[in-house]
Structure 1
Amino acid sequence: MASYVVLLRAVNVGGTGKLPMAELKAMCVAEGFDGVQTYIASGNVVFSADRSGSEIKAALEKRLKDYAGKSVGVIVRTAKEMAEVLEANPFRDAPPNWTVAIFLDHPLPADTLDSVRGRQDEQVRLGRREIYVAYGSGMGRSKLRIPCAAHGTARNINTISKLVELAASI
């Protein structure tokens, strides 16, 4: 059995996509996933399963659509992949609560950095299927726009670190 980290897009953020974490956990248990644990209310769940990432994604997307009445973005990473994202963080000296990885389902377009707009003091680096951003003055006032990130979901380094820890304990 492999351990997985699942990140939901736009759940319980800014008054949109209300989903109690108890409901998310129940969906995962109903799918037969083992050791299910949620972390904070923004749509993070870890578990182990005998399925592929694409099978997990499809199953959860269906359950979430049935629950919410609309599509909910689901990003799946193995525990190993999530640990690699944390290890690859290029901004180790930046505050971890102001540094994020934006997770995408697909490899990044070649023009990702060229398409970035509104950059002020933010630093941007590319991973495999992640975009790392260090917000120099914080996220609240940032005007940064990364077009290919529109369908991704971001987690700060503190959250990623905790998810790696939880996934390793399953």
Structure 2
Amino acid sequence: MTIYVILLRAIGPITHKIMSMAQWRDAVAAAGYDAPQTYVATGNMIVGSDKGIAEVTADMNAVVRGLGLGPGNVAVVRKAATLHRLVKANPLPEAAAERPSELTVYFFAGARPDFSWLGDYEGPERVHIEGTHLFVDYAGRASQSPRLPGLIEKRAGTVTARNWNTVRGLAERAAARG
């Protein structure tokens, strides 16, 4: 059985009124997934399955649609091993140690995000590409970064982001599952 981490895009107070994390867990269990476990209330789940990643992604998107969320609430699925590798890589260790809530990892829905535009980006943020994931050290609040979050989605594709604390917590919990 493979352990997967599901990251829902665009989850917040408005979507919680439509779909609670408990409803999501129950629906995922009813869809045949092993021991769905949510982590914090921002659309993170760990599950076990014998299915492949494409089928898990399709199932998760169907579940959230069935619970009333719209097409903007995309499920981005990664194997637990991928999160483990990202945490182990820790490409911006100073930010991870000193300001983990300001270090963001972007997870793209598409298989090949376009990062070519980053070579020309001149912002105050530090960025690092790790495979198909983008690390951004905002060195302050992401909400104070006027351009970069919008540029990431516009130029690299549909994405969801988690701060380093959340990525590390998900990786630890997923590893504990096997």
TM-score, length basis structure 1:
0.90
Matched, 1:135 2:133: no
Q: Residue 76 of structure 1 aligns with which residue?
A: 77
- Residue 5 of structure 1 corresponds to which residue in structure 2? 5
Which structure features the higher share of helix residues?
A: 2
Residues 27 and 60 in structure 1, CA contact (< 8 A), matched pair in contact too: no
Q: Whole-Å Cα distance in 2 between the matches of residues 108 and 122 of structure 1? A: 19
RMSD, matched Cα: 1.7
Q: Structure 1 110/98 Cα, relative in aligned 2: closer, same or farther at 3 Å?
A: closer
Identity of aligned residues (%): 30
Determine which of 1, 15, 18 is the counterpart of 1:17. Answer: 15
1:108 to 108, 113, 116: 113
Distance 2:37 2:120 in 1: 37
Partner of residue 154, structure 1: 161
Corresponding letter in the other structure for 1:101: V
3-state SS of 2:118 partner: coil
Q: Tell me the CA shift for residue 34 of structure 1.
A: 1.1
What SS does structure 2 have at the residue aligned with 1:140?
helix
Alignment of 1:26-37 (within 5 A): 26-37=26-37
Give the secondary structure class of the aligned counterpart of 1:166: helix
Q: Which AA in structure 2 matches 1:93? A: E
Normalised to the residue count of structure 2, the TM-score between the two structures is 0.86
Give the Å deviation of 1:114: 3.5
CA contact (8 A) 1:107 1:128 kept: no
Ranges in structure 2 where 5+ consecutive residues have no aligned partner: none
Alignment map for 1:20-59 (pairs within 5 Å): 20-59=20-59
Cα distance, 1:22 vs. partner?
Answer: 0.2
1:136 to partner: Cα distance: 1.4
Deviating runs (4+, > 6 A) in structure 1?
none
1:110 deviation in Å? 4.8
Q: Which residue of 1 aligns with 2:100?
A: 96
Counterpart secondary structure, 1:137: coil
